[in-house]
Structure 1
Amino acid sequence: MSFCVKDILRMQVAPALGCTEPVAVALAAAAARAVLPGRPERVDLWVDPNIYKNGLAVIIPGTGGLSGLDLAGALGVFGGDASLGLEVLEPLDEESVQAARALVRDGGVSLNLLQDQRGLFIRAEVFDGSHVAEAVVRDMHDNVVSVSLDGTVLPRAQTSSTIAASSEMPRLEAWIKALSLADLVRLLDDLDDEDREFLMEGVRTNMRLAEHGLKFGPGLGIGKALDRLVRQKLVCRDMILAARILTSAASDARMGGVKLPAMSSAGSGNHGLTAILPIWAIREFITCEEKDVLEAMALSHLVTAYVKAHTGRLSAICGCSVAAGAGASAGIAYLLGGNLAHVAGAIKNIIEDLAGVICDGAKAGCSLKLATAAGTAVQAALFSLQGVNVMDTDGIIGASPEETMQNIGMLSTEGMIETDRTILKIMLAKRFSGF
């Protein structure tokens, strides 16, 4: 079975309100709540280690700065709308937030870590005193694979209407893993006006976050700080810094809990920021048409999806750096007029540079990593266009960009399992010691 570029964009790119890990927990809880006859009295949650890691400290939008997967589950129950998918928490209001906080405060939510679970997994059980409803999310953040009431699995028509077509994703990933970089570039020929408008909506969505970050400096305020350095003439605004400013400012807003959606890529809002905003940032420095920019963004999403098909949705490696970063570098090289060899060189350059960046959960500090990824993506493309390319004999770099991206997948899925456990162990020790 083969797919087209429209299929990839439809399945890999979507708006998401808030960090996708707590959002996925809220979605599971909301899907269970939707079929529960009475008022919820208790919520029990089970999550895999990477969902746990990424939801431990990140602020949930619409809560006034609160965090926690237990709270996310309660918010899904009292204020979530499962039909909205990754924007499940959009309807939150003060009343639902207070109800969720009260449930958590009174011990009505239990959060259970499935230490040995591999792959994305969430199970939510919601009780009303007489009945129990259960929803399971698996493999993808918005993929509710089942909803049951009192042990009886309900037909799909009685569950959330926005559930992703889970049966398609494994086939899509198997198909895309068999493609070459040349194949990915050829897919750009199939973009139509509908695809371009969708890609442009991604720009508008992520730019709203960037503009908020630059205006108000939420989160760590990395983007606003970089912009202030330019205004003070302490640094010069060039392509690299422009990409860093926009991307980190958007991440500041998103990680700071601003109630604005991000256009995600491969299941991650921060991936979407990295895949889109560096390309948008550099357009003002060159001569190009909007059509060229949107094609470059499409290539960025395609390469991001290719890398994530090899690494998995969640891992010990920072996907914003190596997956979305590779996508952005490919798109930038393409937008700057590079040929296939230049695009390949850009991908290999950034993977050599950032392969060691770990994922230690979603939090305000992600803005630093996105600033690095965005700037390095531009640098990797510029180097490649100048004939500076990492040699095939270096470390994990392969003879081709495909082999290089496959190697990063092997490193992620086989080589860093214990690293992932150690990261979580450190984070849990901090949490239980009161930090």
Structure 2
Amino acid sequence: MNVASDTVAKVLQILHEEIVPAQGCTEPITIALVAAKVREVLGILPEQVSIFVSGNIIKNVKSVVVPGSGGMVGIEASAAMGIVAGDCSKDLMVISGITEQDMAGVRECLERTSFKVIHEKTPIKLYIRIEAVAGDQSAEVEARYLHTNLTRVVKNGQVLLNRGFSPETFHTTEEDRSILSVRLIYDLARTIDLDLIRPLFRQVIDLNSTIAEEGLQNTYGVNIGASILKNIEQGIYGDDVRNRCASFAAAGSDARMSGCPLPVMTTSGSGNQGMTASLPVIKFARLKGHSEDELIRALFLSHLCTVHIKTQVGRLSAYCGAMCAAAGVSGALSFLMGADDDTTAHAIVNTLGNVSGIICDGAKPSCAMKIATGIYAAFDSATLASYHRDLHGGEGIVGHDVEATIRNIGVLASTGMEQTDEVILKIMTSE
């Protein structure tokens, strides 16, 4: 299959939009980004701050440690860090330069400033609006649909910016994701000029491997990544590639969910998705002696399949996004095993038919456990596909082919799990 040059250009644009660096969990960091922009527009420290957020933002900020905060969690802490020390020009690296001196200012801001958090009843899953007042000065900044998509900026009642995506296209940015298919992604993974993607995926390898090693060497969260490794070393688990890959992937999430300040390369708005799509593939390629070229092609496939599936699911959902990435990993493992496009597609279907019931109940330390589960499923799915043992259309949510299955996952996540999302949030906020 020859891929037209304009299609390649669109796919490259998608890659560069969807795979970006971020420090910390992207939802609290987005609050910090909006807050930093509010402070920039206001020009002075605010006296009153009102933070309007969607339910999914509440869910994903409640329990995750903000990096550089000394253990702080929550919406108010994220906003205060953005206000005091944020640089909104850095996007999702907005608080990457924060110091202990800055944190003293953050703690003082939290004591002296009136913060109010309001649950905005909106169908938009990713919604943040921060209104700030200081004396007779006021500012308002809003973000919708995507983590860095600032849609409205107002100062003293004067609208400085007013834009946004329509509900029908909220899952896209600049390029239309409908051009993506597993067949296209597979063919490009085999044929694309590596010079076009090598710098991006070297950054993925570098940043995500670094935080995974940090998670293995130090204590973060539930430490599932290091625990798997310890069980291997003690002979409780077998010393095999599957366990090693699950350990490596989970360790990155262990560190990130518990406030490690090291940046990661995110995928489709999520560091956990970015680490899931990359770390097991990196570890597998290293253990099996694959070349850098082969690894980069497999990472290309894993990440783009994740984007393709996540486009149907939406940016935030009750459907665990790490399972989208796990499906991408199963495809990448098949690719590295030398499978053809049909077998690779079957590996993805096997994963989606297996772990699609895993819910997203917010960003927190247990995300690492879910990632490990997803990686184990990815290995099972890829090996079953290599034996031509596949889930078939009509069996549960599995469609007649991989694209139909991905569409079914989108319906399940967006329509079928709408009430699930509400129940999860009610449980979380009643604790």
**Normalised TM-score (structure 2):** 0.93
- 2:149 pairs with 1:148: no
Paired AA for residue 8 in structure 1: I
SS of structure 2 residue aligned to 1:34: helix
Q: CA deviation at 1:130?
A: 2.2
Q: Which of 238, 241, 265 is the aligned partner of 1:239? A: 241
SS of structure 1 residue aligned to 2:64: coil
Q: CA deviation at 1:325?
A: 1.1
- State how far apart, in whole Å, the 2-side matches of 1:371 and 1:101 are: 36
Q: Which of 117, 126, 133 is the aligned partner of 2:123? A: 117
Alpha-carbon distance change, 38 to 171 in structure 1, aligned in 2, over 3 angstroms:
closer
Paired AA for residue 110 in structure 2: V
Q: Which of 98, 110, 113 is the aligned partner of 2:104? A: 98
- 2:62 pairs with 1:25: no
- State how far apart, in whole Å, the 2-side matches of 1:406 and 1:377 are: 19
SS of structure 1 residue aligned to 2:176: helix
- State how far apart, in whole Å, the 1-side matches of 2:71 and 2:44 are: 30
For the 8 Å contact 1:217–1:223, the answer to whether it is kept is no
Q: CA deviation at 1:37?
A: 2.5
For the 8 Å contact 2:172–2:311, the answer to whether it is kept is no
Q: CA deviation at 1:131?
A: 0.8
Q: CA deviation at 1:135?
A: 1.1
| Alignment-derived partner of residue 7 in structure 1 | 13
| Alignment-derived partner of residue 229 in structure 1 | 231
Alpha-carbon distance change, 72 to 286 in structure 1, aligned in 2, over 3 angstroms:
same
- State how far apart, in whole Å, the 2-side matches of 1:251 and 1:39 are: 34
| Alignment-derived partner of residue 54 in structure 2 | 48
Taking every aligned residue pair, what percent have the same amino acid on both sides? 34
Q: CA deviation at 1:286?
A: 2.6
> Number of aligned pairs?
423
Paired AA for residue 300 in structure 1: S
| Alignment-derived partner of residue 383 in structure 1 | 384
SS of structure 1 residue aligned to 2:42: coil
SS of structure 1 residue aligned to 2:132: strand
| Alignment-derived partner of residue 160 in structure 1 | none
For the 8 Å contact 2:306–2:327, the answer to whether it is kept is yes
How do 1:20-419 and structure 2 match up within 5 A? Answer: 20-106=26-112, 108-154=114-160, 175-188=176-189, 189-321=191-323, 323-419=324-420
For the 8 Å contact 1:229–1:235, the answer to whether it is kept is yes
- State how far apart, in whole Å, the 1-side matches of 2:168 and 2:419 are: 30
Q: CA deviation at 1:74?
A: 1.0
**Stretch of structure 1 that moved more, 124-133 or 358-367:** 124-133
- State how far apart, in whole Å, the 2-side matches of 1:103 and 1:44 are: 14
For the 8 Å contact 2:327–2:348, the answer to whether it is kept is yes
For the 8 Å contact 1:4–1:190, the answer to whether it is kept is no
- State how far apart, in whole Å, the 1-side matches of 2:132 and 2:259 are: 26
Deviations 1:110-143 (A, max 9, x none): 1111133323111111222221111111111111
Q: CA deviation at 1:408?
A: 0.5
Alpha-carbon distance change, 101 to 252 in structure 1, aligned in 2, over 3 angstroms:
same
**Stretch of structure 1 that moved more, 385-394 or 418-427:** 385-394
Paired AA for residue 367 in structure 1: A
For the 8 Å contact 1:239–1:378, the answer to whether it is kept is no
Segments ≥4 residues shifted beyond 4 Å: 166-174
SS of structure 1 residue aligned to 2:399: coil
For the 8 Å contact 2:45–2:83, the answer to whether it is kept is no
- State how far apart, in whole Å, the 2-side matches of 1:168 and 1:117 are: 14
Deviations 1:237-272 (A, max 9, x none): 212111111011111110110110111000000000
SS of structure 2 residue aligned to 1:43: strand
- State how far apart, in whole Å, the 2-side matches of 1:168 and 1:402 are: 19
For the 8 Å contact 1:217–1:249, the answer to whether it is kept is no
For the 8 Å contact 1:18–1:254, the answer to whether it is kept is yes
- State how far apart, in whole Å, the 2-side matches of 1:206 and 1:144 are: 27
Deviations 1:355-378 (A, max 9, x none): 000000000111100111122212
For the 8 Å contact 1:103–1:109, the answer to whether it is kept is no
Paired AA for residue 97 in structure 2: P
Backbone CA RMSD of aligned residues: 2.3
Q: CA deviation at 1:102?
A: 3.2
Q: CA deviation at 1:96?
A: 2.5
- State how far apart, in whole Å, the 2-side matches of 1:214 and 1:293 are: 22
- Unaligned runs of 5+ residues in structure 1 are 157-162, 431-435
Alpha-carbon distance change, 285 to 170 in structure 1, aligned in 2, over 3 angstroms:
closer
Alpha-carbon distance change, 304 to 63 in structure 1, aligned in 2, over 3 angstroms:
same
For the 8 Å contact 1:86–1:142, the answer to whether it is kept is yes
For the 8 Å contact 2:248–2:279, the answer to whether it is kept is yes
SS of structure 2 residue aligned to 1:373: helix
- State how far apart, in whole Å, the 2-side matches of 1:146 and 1:173 are: 18
For the 8 Å contact 1:59–1:67, the answer to whether it is kept is yes
Deviations 1:342-397 (A, max 9, x none): 11111111111100000000001111001111222122111111222112221000
**Normalised TM-score (structure 1):** 0.92
SS of structure 1 residue aligned to 2:44: coil
**Stretch of structure 1 that moved more, 394-403 or 372-381:** 372-381
Q: CA deviation at 1:44?
A: 1.1
SS of structure 1 residue aligned to 2:41: coil
For the 8 Å contact 1:213–1:249, the answer to whether it is kept is yes
